[in-house]
Amino acid sequence: MDVTTFRVDLVRTVDESYPVVVGRRLDERIAQFLERHRDRRIAVVTDSTVESLAVPALAAALGDRAFDVFAFPAGEASKTRAVKERLEDAMIARGFGRDSVVVALGGGVVTDLAGFLAATFTRGVPYVSAPTTLLAAADAAVGGKTAVDTPAATNLIGAFHQPSAVFVDLDRWLTLSDRHIREGLGETVKHACLADAAFFGALEDAFVRQGMTPAQFVRDDALAELTARRNCEIKRDFVVSDVHEGNRRMGLNLGHTIGRALETAMGYEMNHGECVAVGLALQARLGERHGYVGAADVARVEALLRSIGLPYRLPAGVSVQAVMDAMLHDKKGRAGAIRFVFQKGIGGLVTFDGGAYARPVDAAEMRDFLASQAS
């Protein structure tokens, strides 16, 4: 029998553009946007903390529009395939199908998990991202990277699925603890380090020179709006140039290679933003060794993190080997080498051969470096 070969020509042009709305008291705006999906059933995915804090206001804005709430226990421990499966089964049991629209109402765990659910439920349904934390607004809300964690590493299983809209309600930040505000500021400092020296300077002025507290920060309209807007704009600029993280978008992982590994090694005892802050400071120190950043700029990064109240050293007693094991499982790692992003001074990124935004760092070099930084 002859072998037959034929081609499936499938060239698609897809417009996945969406609005990002930044402001206060945005529940009415969310309800108005959902009118575009009037023919769809609304599934609000949230966690056990946000359910009582934010769902009532959204319900009031929706008026007589019916919706179902699907809540799971708050915390990073819920960002798993098992929890996603339980949510999917609950939606199916209540008769949800392809006529669904998901509203991801919560922090980064919610937006990551709900976005991944929306990406796979009946092979994909639209979702609206309504982040309730500074961290989620800075990190998970824009860009369409949705995922869950595994025992090996964070965000290892997921999909690219863009939201239909993002609503960053600054009033939600008023309910956050100081620790959770600082967590979001870890991602914020990262964005300033990699793309905006003037934004870094504004943060320095607020926290280093003025000594602003987290509570004062979220109540400062101008600074809160600037932070939300620049976080989203910087992320947008990287995403639109490299949707599927082929190269430039890897720059957004500044501080994350060590940071995510530290999260896993610490059993999530430290939160994401705290681990990113440590990773950010350590990549700057390693970058100084390679001549990518000067000692004065490393000192500025550490001073800003310290003034915010974020850690910037490896915690005492952490296993360097556990951090290494998690880094070697990182989805950007290849053939025993660790892919690493470095900042260039304040407000830029180093590019390598061929315009690459990440370079391999030998595992032995990384192990020796981490050992030198361990308390």
Q: How far apart are CA 196 and CA 189, in angstroms?
A: 10
What pLDDT is stored for residue 267 in this prediction? 87
**pTM, full prediction:** 0.89
CB neighbours of residue 96 within 10 Å: 22
Same domain, 165 and 292: no
Q: How far apart are CA 155 and CA 254, in angstroms?
A: 16
Same domain, 102 and 186: no
- Looking at the structure of the chain, the number of domains it has is 2
The per-residue DSSP string of 292-314 comes to SS-HHHHHHHHHHHHHHT---SP
Q: 270 lies in a domain?
A: yes
pLDDT (tens, 9 = 90+) of the chain, 375 residues, equals 889 999 999 988 888 999 999 999 999 999 999 999 999 999 999 999 999 999 999 999 999 999 999 999 999 899 999 999 999 999 999 999 999 999 999 999 999 999 999 999 999 999 999 999 999 999 888 889 999 998 887 788 999 999 999 999 999 999 999 999 999 999 999 999 999 999 999 999 999 999 999 999 999 999 999 999 999 999 999 988 877 777 898 999 999 999 999 998 998 889 999 999 999 999 999 999 999 999 999 999 999 999 999 999 999 989 999 999 988 876 555 555 789 999 999 999 999 999 999 999 999 999 999 999 986
Q: 1 lies in a domain?
A: no
Domain endpoint, select from 175, 210, 244: 175
What pLDDT is stored for residue 334 in this prediction? 53
SS3 260: helix
The per-residue DSSP string of 80-112 comes to SHHHHHHHHHHHHHTT--TTEEEEEEESHHHHH
Same domain, 117 and 199: no
Q: 15 lies in a domain?
A: no
Q: 6 lies in a domain?
A: no
Residue 115 belongs to domain with CATH number: 3.40.50.1970
Domain endpoint, select from 175, 194, 224: 175
Contact 31, 62 (CB under 8 A): yes
Residue 232 belongs to domain with CATH number: 1.20.1090.10
Q: 189 lies in a domain?
A: yes
Same domain, 143 and 231: no
Q: 115 lies in a domain?
A: yes
Same domain, 209 and 122: no
β-pairing, 100-106 with 67-72?
unpaired
Q: 2 lies in a domain?
A: no
Domain endpoint, select from 121, 154, 175: 175
Same domain, 150 and 192: no
Same domain, 61 and 191: no
Same domain, 342 and 226: yes
What pLDDT is stored for residue 12 in this prediction? 83
Same domain, 132 and 77: yes
Same domain, 104 and 217: no
Q: How far apart are CA 210 and CA 323, in angstroms?
A: 35
What pLDDT is stored for residue 177 in this prediction? 96
Same domain, 59 and 94: yes
Q: 338 lies in a domain?
A: yes
Same domain, 168 and 182: no
- Residue 280's domain spans which residues? 178-373
Residue with tokens 């793309």: 195
